[in-house]
Each structure stands twice: as structure tokens, then as C-alpha cells.
Amino acid sequence: MNKPNGRKRCILDIEATDNVWHGRLICIGIMDTETKEMRIFSDENEESLLVQFLQFFEENKYTELIGYNINFDIRFVLAKCMKYRLSATAFYRAFCTDLMMILKSFRKGYDFNEVGTLDQWGRFLLGQGKLATEVSIPMLYKMGRVDEIIEYCENDLRLTFGVWERLHAVIGEVYT
């Protein structure tokens, strides 16, 4: 399932303290759709975090990013790359599959019914949802509980993969 048309796919998820203008990246999670191996990048130095992630992305020659509302994640990463003047050519050129947009659309037309959250789709399809946290991700970060944020990101990667795998099995290749 990993290389249709020569594509090498990965699931992408980020966790951040706020929006791109006021927040910072806490971690970037990536999961290879073929091996199901996960890698979480986290560093107190945001620029260093990005350098490590971009190097890994290029070394592994990923050509497709899959996520739920992934446009937010991609825009956040690219904005931070621009801030630090980091080359992100391979990342930017990667094909993008946004599961939220696919589930929102019907035969390329958009429906205005509720699309559902990753948590709702995970519970409906997989019997499990997002990890419950007693406080928000930004608050966990302020409290220094980065390990819990990384665990949260890993769970999101697994949920996104499960939703993608189910959708792929039902309708075949899925692209947005």
C-alpha cells in the first residue's frame, strides 16, 4: 500500500502551543505507512527540531503526506521553515492527502454536514479515540509534561493511519 505511482507515504501530525503566529512547535510526528514505524521529533530549540525532521524526511524520500486536517500542520511547518530560512523543498513538494477533506466531500462536491473530528472517526471506525488529557496541550507544555504530548501525538498518528487504512480499503486510492 505504500508505493502507488512510486509514492512513499507517511502520516504527519504536529503538536504546537498555539497558532503559527503566536505558538511554537512542540513536536512533529511521522509514521511510515508501510513499516508503521513512528518517529517523534521534539526539541526545546524549535529550529533544531525542524532541521532534524527535514533531514529525516529527505533521507527517507517521502513523497506523500497523509493527515487529518493536514493543511494546518503543513502550513505551520512551512511558516516556521520560512522564519528560520530552512530549505523544505522535498517537504513542500510532497503530495498531500487530507482525510478530513475527503470525508467532507462527496464525489468532489462539498457537503455542509458535520465532517466529524479525528476523535469521532477513530471511535466510530476503530473503537478508540484521542487520548484524554486533563489539561490542554499548551498547558501540558507549560507544565513541562512533554512526554505526555509525545504520547498524544503518537496516538494521533495511529488514529490517522487507521482511518486512512479503512478509507483506502473501502474506496481505493484516496487523494485530495
Number of domains making up the chain: 1
Q: What is the pTM of this model?
A: 0.89
Residue 78 inside a domain? The answer is: yes
Is residue 176 in a domain?
no
Q: Which domain holds residue 158?
A: 4-171
What CATH number does the domain containing 117 carry? 3.30.420.10
Q: What is the pLDDT of residues 127-175, one digit of tens each?
A: 999 998 778 999 999 999 999 999 999 999 999 999 999 998 988 876 5
Band of pLDDT at residue 120, cut at 50, 70 and 90: very high
Is 19 among the domain residues?
A: yes
Which residue in this structure is represented by grid cell 512513499?
A: 8
Q: Which three cell numbers stand for residue 44?
A: 526545546
Helix axes 146-171, 118-126, angle to 10 degrees: 60
SS3 138: helix
